[in-house]
A and B are shown apart, each in its own frame.
Chain A
Amino acid sequence: MLLHDLVTRQAEQRAARTAIVHAGNTLTFGDLETQSDRLAHLLAEQGCVKGDRVCLFLPKRPRAVVGMLGTLKAGGAYVPIDLASPAQRVERILRVCEPKFALVTKEGAKLFQDSCAAAGITPRAIVLEDDDQGLDGALTFADVLAAPTTRPDPGLSDGDLAHVLFTSGSTGVPKGVMITHKNVVSYVEWAADYLGTQPGDRASGHPPLHFDLSTYDIYGNLGWGAELHMIGPELSLIAAKLAKYIREQELDQWFSVPSILTYMAKFDVVKSNDFPAMKRLMWCGEVLPTPTLIYFMKRLPHVTFTNLYGPTEATIASSYYTVPSCPEDERSDIPIGKACAGEELLVLDESQKPTPVGEIGHLYIRGVGLSPGYWQDEEKTAAAFQPNPNLEGDRIYRTGDLARMGEDGNVIFLGREDSQIKSRGYRIELGEIETALSALDYLKESAVVGVPTGGFEGTAICCGYAPAEGREITPPEIREALVGALPKYMLPARWKEFDALPKNANGKIDRRKIRELFAGESS
């Protein structure tokens, strides 16, 4: 089964039914199918063959899904670009993934031009708008609609690439996680079965398109005939507006990163027995604070609450835990639970032997979700995807997470073994921020630490810095310099100036000390 076939199957049965809803616009399964067939035809006619990368400079709109399905049907692998990223970062992604095509809308046109110019590449652009948005010689949506609906046959099998998702890399170069059709199909088949997804269900689409959680939203819902209600970033700015939207759209399923839930709880915008249509609320990406869970479970007794866990490298989620009843203790841990079908969670010690129940170890994942590896990076691939010592020919992925196995077989997440943090659901390597800071010659030294806030932002990114001799520099100036190199969500929120950064006995920067200094002051 190929990923796009899941949607085609629904289009054949319910062409006139609504597939996607966004800001008052709707797209039916039939239109989604024919538009993406036409796009696939156009891409193939322009020379797209199996395995070609197609970069998506598309905001969250129904047409973005047309772009994804069209790419898959032409045999391509799409690479969603975060439109909030600076051109300098996108340039690095373009250099690495070498796209032959780009799908662009008006919101992405400038970033497309700037990043391609910087990377020195000229992918063929198809602008999914009525005009070419100033991209000379580009094809437009009128060309898409004029193309025949006959789909090309790129000769795909389910082990071929569906997309490449770029995540933060510790040396400043984003890592491209390769995801196959089979990786996604395996997960969404499990999810639809476990969740009981049905035609006519009304599900949220909250995470951005460059997050792998959105892959579930799209295929896990559309593939089973459910309606996808795409939620743009602006709606999330005001908690009360978002709650109103959920209420009025009568969503029966909500899925997001925890921070937006904590944001709603903080502003107390959920009423008792609110969201009467809702059946299930799920989160993934980082730990949901237990007080937030209690807040929602008390107000929404009719809803089932499910915690999902899993890194992009193991596709969307690898384990699940449906909370049996409202926790009484605000300090209790919510397990990440048990493996989804076809997957296995392993808690192993330094010599890759299983740790005894209850003891901390390194969390590894094996099974159907495992990515083939990082795009054109054998070294990083070999370091993270290792041979399974207990099963020849099998692979295990080292998540970098620490965990323990509970007596009931549920796994408990205990933190990170490196300097990766989660901030508002974004996965961030602090090293990427430090790399950007080290390029600023007016800083003598700098260090970035993550400080848990207890608030909805999760971990706050804090920067300690020492100006170079004789230089005066303020945080707004440093921040502005970083804007060109990092996406906004990676910019430090708190700053502290030092004459020289604290050092430990070995003369290395004492990050623990810096973290304590930030944690000691109220935000």
Chain B
Amino acid sequence: MDQKAEIATKITEMFREHLNINVPAHDTDLIGMGLLDSLALVDLILKIEEEMGIAVNMEELEIEDFRTVDTIATYLMTLKSAAA
């Protein structure tokens, strides 16, 4: 499994375990489907920071980065490589 797919799987797990939300697929439109509202978004970001050790700057966040599990994974990859 490549690193991005690994992160995507981990995000899907966070949705299920932490937010009690089943995400059907990695390309599901989380915002369009109403799965991700402001409350869930904040919880998710806190969880990502805690479990993956990545700092997410809320000021610079673009909502399109959180459109699908795939886009979140891509976004986190860029954050990781920027920090490295």
Tell me the dominant secondary structure on chain A's binding face: helix
Q: Are B34 and A84 in contact (CB under 8 A)?
A: yes
B3, CB-defined interface residue at 8 Å? no
B81, CB-defined interface residue at 8 Å? no
Given A238-B58, A239-B58, A241-B63: A488 and B37 interface contact (C-beta under 8 Å): yes
Q: How far is the CB of A442 from chain B (nearest CB, A)?
A: 16
A263 and B16 CA atoms in complex are apart in Å by 24
Q: How far is the CB of B18 from chain A (nearest CB, A)?
A: 10
- Closest B residue by C-beta to A239: B58
A414, CB-defined interface residue at 8 Å? no
Q: Please indicate which of the listed interface residues B16, B20, B22, B31 has the most CB atoms of chain A within 10 Å of its own CB.
A: B20
Given A234-B63, A239-B58, A240-B61: A476 and B38 interface contact (C-beta under 8 Å): no
A500: B residues at CB distance < 8 A: none
Q: A457-496: which have CB < 8 Å to B? A: 457, 475-477, 479-480, 488-489, 493, 495
A495 and B17 CA atoms in complex are apart in Å by 12
A395, CB-defined interface residue at 8 Å? no
A488 and B21 CA atoms in complex are apart in Å by 11
Q: Are B58 and A267 in contact (CB under 8 A)?
A: yes
Given A267-B58, A424-B39, A493-B39: A237 and B20 interface contact (C-beta under 8 Å): no
- Closest A residue by C-beta to B17: A476
A236, CB-defined interface residue at 8 Å? yes
B2, CB-defined interface residue at 8 Å? no
A480 and B38 CA atoms in complex are apart in Å by 19
Q: Are B22 and A263 in contact (CB under 8 A)?
A: no
> Which of B22, B36, B39 touches A479 (beta carbons < 8 Å)?
B22
B41, CB-defined interface residue at 8 Å? yes
Q: Are B34 and A238 in contact (CB under 8 A)?
A: no
A477: B residues at CB distance < 8 A: 22
Q: Are A475 and B58 in contact (CB under 8 A)?
A: no
B50: A residues at CB distance < 8 A: none
Q: How far is the CB of A387 from chain B (nearest CB, A)?
A: 42
A307 and B24 CA atoms in complex are apart in Å by 42
Given A234-B31, A476-B16: A240 and B58 interface contact (C-beta under 8 Å): yes
Question: B49-62 toward A: CB 8 Å interface, digit per residue (1/0)?
Answer: 00000000011010
Q: How far is the CB of A436 from chain B (nearest CB, A)?
A: 16
A234 and B34 CA atoms in complex are apart in Å by 10
Q: Are A238 and B39 in contact (CB under 8 A)?
A: no
Q: What are the 7 A-B residue pairs with the smallest beta carbon separation, nearest first?
A: A475-B20, A488-B34, A240-B59, A476-B22, A84-B34, A476-B20, A476-B16
Interface residues of B (CB under 8 A from A): 16, 20-22, 31, 34-39, 41, 58-59, 61, 63, 66
A-B contact pairs, 27 of them (CB 8 A): A237-B31, A237-B36, A237-B37, A237-B38, A237-B41, A237-B63, A238-B38, A238-B63, A239-B38, A240-B58, A240-B61, A241-B61, A241-B63, A263-B38, A267-B58, A269-B59, A456-B39, A457-B39, A475-B20, A476-B16, A476-B22, A479-B20, A479-B21, A488-B34, A489-B37, A493-B39, A495-B20
Q: A84-B34, A479-B22 are in contact. List 8 more A-B contacts (CB 8 A).
A: A234-B31, A237-B37, A239-B58, A240-B58, A240-B59, A240-B61, A263-B38, A493-B39
Interface residues of A (CB under 8 A from B): 84, 234, 236-241, 263, 267, 269, 424, 456-457, 475-477, 479-480, 488-489, 493, 495
